[in-house]
Structure 1
Amino acid sequence: MFRLVRSRVVWLLVLAVSAVLTVRVLETFESTLEQLVVLSVFIPLLTGTGGNTGNQAATSLTRALALGDVHTRDVVKVMLREMRVGLCLGLLLGGLGFVIVGLIYGWDICAVIGLTLLALCTLAATVGGCMPLIARAIGADPAVFSNPFISTFVDAAGLVVYFLIARAMLGLA
């Protein structure tokens, strides 16, 4: 039991500290949130969708590594495949988000959410597919390393993408 705790706690501590990145992103875009508070309502949806998309990809790749179906040398092939999968998922989820958010919150906000979901799913699946291979290459356990890293990275990167899209599309500062 202690060996398992030791193998997991290191990555969790490193990633807990790096979660400060997400806080910094929110602080950086605080003025954007103040201009349109409704943007804050969608943060859990976006971070959850991004984390889940990346974690699904990582779990699939970790299994494929364990079965010997993929190897670290396949990183480019895996990255391109996961990028396409993420793009398809993003089109589906972004389209659905566009319609639902449009009906409830308006068509300006729905475009931001739809495009963010498209970008976020593509990014998350690509990163999620590569993380187990990177973990294996550096000698870390892909099952322990990948999902916490993906959640932390996708939260911060996804929020940056979200707020940049919102600023561009809605004319916010």
Structure 2
Amino acid sequence: MNDGVYPRQLAPLGFDLMSQKPKRGDRSRRDDDRYLFLEALISAQQKLYISYIGRSIQDNSERFPSVLVQELIDYIGQSHYLPGDEALNCDESEARVKAHLTCLHTRMPFDPQNYQPGERQSYAREWLPAASQAGKAHSEFVQPLPFTLPETVPLERYNDSGHIRCGHFSRCVCR
């Protein structure tokens, strides 16, 4: 449910004459998606889980939810308050409700925060060794391998067909 992805914004097709002169009551995919979102809200009986990617994987910059999700969060923040927030002003109460509604997960499954006791504690065994390292480099990868220049093959080692004889080639490459 990321911004720009939902509701869908499809470019009109070249042969779609309805998109050139839209009339009242014409079908819109964007409006259909808004309706589907409302249907999902109404259909949820006990819990509703909506997720979006909140950080970019390239540079960790903030990404925003869909307009529909942001409108829902804003509405709930403005029309509800948490127990004990009765004395707070509207803006502070809204910020606390929004923080209560959203849950920020770590970007990597092996983040050490995922293995701390709590509501979102991970039990995935495959990531535990990486999480226990806590970003430390492995000792065998700290020092790079020594660089050696390959031996040059003199022209005399070539046979008549232009190929290197097998015995000489293995001495040059397989050191």
- Higher relative contact order (CA closer than 8 Å, sequence separation 6+): 1
Greater share of helix: 1
Fold shared by both chains (TM-score > 0.5): no
TM-score (norm 1): 0.23
| Higher gyration radius (CA) | 2
TM-score (norm 2): 0.22
